Amino acid sequence: MMKLYTFDLAPNARRLQLFLDYKGIELETQQIDLGALEQHGEEYAAFNPLRTIPALELEDGTLLTEVIAQVAFLESQYPEKPLLGSTDIERAQVLNWDHLLMISGFAAVRDIFRNSVKGFKDRASTGALPLSQIPDLAARGKLQLHDFWPMVDKRLGNSPWLAGDNFTYADIDLYCMVEFSGWVKEGIPDECANLKAWHERTSAKLA
């Protein structure tokens, strides 16, 4: 039986949970309390040296630590209500937009959050390595995010969903990124009307 190690409040955990909920997948789950730093406990660190969540342990003991890999595996096991595309072009578009979201959107919000919130002093990155906060990275993240929103807004002016005509996992990741941006008070700008309309459609779809 597969087992999921997660923490419901965390943005990366949210990315996977919305995928599971949409497809109706239920997994044995264990919460790892990041607030209590359980990810750095001896038992979990030995199991997952990266000390990250979510982590998915497959039936054969294989450990998947990255959300996109977890999603890809689960999509192959539960193909109903496909979220990674139904054609070669759509699959490529989903991966293209999802990667762009990670390196240009999520990374910007992460840098703002990790380098400005006092509770993350000396924890400016995940994992065991203690890294000091760098305020300039938070400032740079804001600049990158302000550049990112209009690009996505333009895309959604030409397409109902991020990867094309169908709702996909790229939309789930964008939705989670919007949620995460609210943590640093950098939500969707008022002038991004297409993105705001998309957010309403997605909220209804995931309700």
| 38 belongs to a structural domain | yes
Q: Per residue in 150-174, pLDDT tens?
A: 999 999 999 999 999 999 999 999 9
In sequence order, what are the residues at sequence separation of 6 or more whose Cβ sits closer than 8 angstroms to the Cβ of residue 148? Answer: 104, 105, 108
In sequence order, what are the residues at sequence separation of 6 or more whose Cβ sits closer than 8 angstroms to the Cβ of residue 39? Answer: 32, 45, 48, 51, 52, 53
| 82 belongs to a structural domain | no
CA dist., res. 131 & res. 128, Å (int): 9
Same domain for 45 and 93, yes or no, is no
Same domain for 53 and 99, yes or no, is no
Q: What pLDDT, on the 0 to 100 scale, is given for residue 126? A: 75
Q: What pLDDT, on the 0 to 100 scale, is given for residue 138? A: 93
Q: What pLDDT, on the 0 to 100 scale, is given for residue 54? A: 98
| 43 belongs to a structural domain | yes
Same domain for 95 and 132, yes or no, is yes
Same domain for 161 and 60, yes or no, is no
Nearest to 71 by CA among 50, 99, 111: 99
| 172 belongs to a structural domain | yes
31 - beta bridge partners?
6
Secondary structure (DSSP) of 168-182: -HHHHHHHHHHHHHH
Tracing tokens 């994992």 back to the chain, one arrives at 127
Nearest to 186 by CA among 97, 106, 96, 125: 106
Q: What pLDDT, on the 0 to 100 scale, is given for residue 198? A: 98
Q: What pLDDT, on the 0 to 100 scale, is given for residue 124? A: 63
Contact between 168 and 83 under an 8 Å Cβ cutoff? The reply is yes
Same domain for 152 and 114, yes or no, is yes
Contact between 93 and 163 under an 8 Å Cβ cutoff? The reply is yes
Q: What is the CATH number of the domain that holds 44?
A: 3.40.30.10
Q: Which amino acid is at 171?
A: D
Q: What pLDDT, on the 0 to 100 scale, is given for residue 121? A: 78
The list of the chain residues with pLDDT below 50 reads none
Same domain for 126 and 36, yes or no, is no
Same domain for 189 and 165, yes or no, is yes
Strands 3-6 and 28-31: parallel
Structural domain total, the chain: 2
Same domain for 95 and 27, yes or no, is no
Contact between 146 and 140 under an 8 Å Cβ cutoff? The reply is no
Same domain for 109 and 171, yes or no, is yes
| Domain extent at residue 104 | 88-206
Same domain for 112 and 30, yes or no, is no
The pTM for the full model equals 0.94
